[in-house]
Structure 1
Amino acid sequence: QNRFEKLYVVEAPAFLGVLRECLDDNAKTRIAGEIPKDVARQAPEDIRSKLPDYL
């Protein structure tokens, strides 16, 4: 529904490829960056420390 212009994906490297296959072309064109890190079980402040400052 075009609710976003840019998408930043933070996902474990092993799952990143699977995720790419599931996204439609519209979503793929909006991916502005990918960060291959597994942060699913980390505290928000730890996740934030791994992200670039511009996010």
Structure 2
Amino acid sequence: MKQTSRALCAVGLGLLTLLSSCGKRNDQPIPPAPNPGEVTPLKLPEHLIFL
């Protein structure tokens, strides 16, 4: 369980960094979140659709 959570956290942080760099082109900029765990589950499905 810990390994999967770490993997998801790493993927979430990786996507957040990519989205933050590409967020300038998007209509809705992504604000920095203090806790990635709260944003990742909500944002992942939306960005996967665009990808």
**Fold shared by both chains (TM-score > 0.5):** no
Q: Answer with 1 or 2: which has the greater Rg.
A: 1
* Higher RCO (CA-CA < 8 Å; seq separation 6+): 1
Q: TM-score, normalised by structure 2?
A: 0.29
